Amino acid sequence: MRATMTDSPATVPTAAPHWRDQPHEVVERDGIRYTLLGTAHVSQASVDAVRDAIGSGEFDTVAVELDPQRLQALTDPDALARLDLVDVIRSGRTALFAANLALAAYQRRLAEQLGVQPGAELKRAVLEARHRELPVHLIDREVGLTFKRASAKLGFWGRAKLAGGLLAGLLVDEPVAEDDIEKLKTGDMLESSFSEFASDTPALYDTIIDERDRYMAARLRESTAADAGAGLAPREVLAVVGAGHLRGMAGYLREESRAAPAIREELEALPKKSDIPWFTIILTTFVLGGFAWGFWQGGIDVGSDLLLQWVLATGLLGALGCAIAGGHPLSILVAFIASPITPLHPALASGTLSALTEAWLRKPTYADFMALRQDIGTLKGWWRNRVARVLLNFFLTSLGTAIGVWTGGLRMLGKLVG
C-alpha cells in the first residue's frame, strides 16, 4: 500500500557534492550491479547525495533501508491518528507500540537539535524514485520483528533492562549527547536508540545490526529476482542504507549462497514458546496449594488470612500503579480486582484490563494522537495526553501487580515455613 506523500522532489542543486564522494560499495552478482550508498541519518549532505544519485539516471531500481511502517511514519503524519488503541492493547502489541514511540521520541530530539529530520535521506530516496517512476523496494525488517527477536534472545534481566531503557527514552527529554550524534553519522538509528544496551549486549547487537545486514542483503536479492520474473530485468540497483550497514551488507551480498527467501523466512521467525506454560502452572500450584494448606492445617482463620494477604498485596499495589498513572476510579477498581487473578490466568492481565477500561472511559481524541509525539517529550505531557496515559496505566499497573505477586508470595512462603 502506498503511503500519502506531500513532499515533492526537488531539483539537484549545482553546488551539491557528487554522490560518489559518499561511502559506498559496489557488488556485482547474478548479472546485477548493486550499489550500496552509505548515508548518515542526520545529515543534509546525505539527503543531497541521495537526490544526486537517483537524479543521475544511472539506476533503474531503488532499494531503501525502511519497512512499510517506518515509511508511513516518515511520510504520513496523520497515520498515528488512525490507530485503534483498543485493538493494540487487545492484540498484545502495547510493548511494541511503546518501543516505536521511544524511537519516535529519540528522533524528535535529534530533529530539534540538528534541524534535520532523522531518516530524511530515506524518505527522499522514495520520493525521488517514485517521481521518476523507478521500482522501489523496502528491504528492512519490521521494527516489531526486530524488537521481538532481540527480546527473545535476552534473559529476564536483559528484558527488564531493555524495558527500563525504553521507558527512560520515553520519559527523558534531555538533548542527545554529542558522542551519540557522532556515532549516528556512521551507524544505525536502531542501534543508536538502544546504544546503552547494544554496546554491552552481544545478542542485542547481533539482532539489531548483523541480522539486519543479512536480512537486507537477502531482501535485495529476492526483490530484484521478483522484478526479473515480472519482466522488469533490473541491471543497476541503488540501495540507500545507513553507513553502519555498508560493510556487513556488502559481505553478505557477495558471499551468501543460500536462497534469499529461506534466509528471509529464517530471520523473520520467532522462537516458539512452549505449549506448556510452566511458570504459570508452578505459580498457580504454589498459590492455590498455599491456600489449601492454610485451610487444611490452620483452619478457616489461617486460610482466610493467607487469602486476604494475597488479595491485598497484589490488588492494592496493582491499583496503586493505576492510580499513579492517573487512572479513572473504575480503572483503579478493575486493577484491584484483576491483580490477584493475573498470575493465575495471564489472559486476565491487570495491566491489559485496566488499560482497556481507561481507553474505553477516556477515549483518546484525534488531537491526543496528533500531539502524542510532542507530549511524550515532557513528564507533564504523559499525564495530559490520553494515549500516553493509557500506556502509563498499562505499564504501572503491570509493575504494581508484579511487585505485589512477589510480596504476597514471600509472605505466603513465610507463613508456610514458619
Partners of 237 in the β-ladder: 34, 61
**What was the pLDDT predicted at 403?**
92
Q: At what angle do helices 94-114 and 68-75 cross, to 10 degrees?
A: 50
Q: CB–CB of 408/313 below 8 Å?
A: yes
Q: Which residues contact 229 (CB under 8 A, 6 or more apart)?
A: none
Q: CB–CB of 134/60 below 8 Å?
A: yes
Low-confidence ranges of the chain (pLDDT < 50): 1-6, 8-16, 195-197
The domains of the chain are located at 19-268, 281-417
Reported as a single tens digit per residue, the pLDDT across 242-279 is 888 888 999 999 999 999 999 999 999 987 766 666 66
CA 325 to chain centre: 22
What is the torsional sign of CA 82, 86, 89, 91?
negative
Residues 72 and 81: their CA atoms lie apart, in Å, by 12
What are the grid coordinates assigned to 402, written together? 508484579
**What was the pLDDT predicted at 76?**
79
DSSP code, position 256: -
Reported as a single tens digit per residue, the pLDDT across 270-285 is 877 666 666 667 777 7
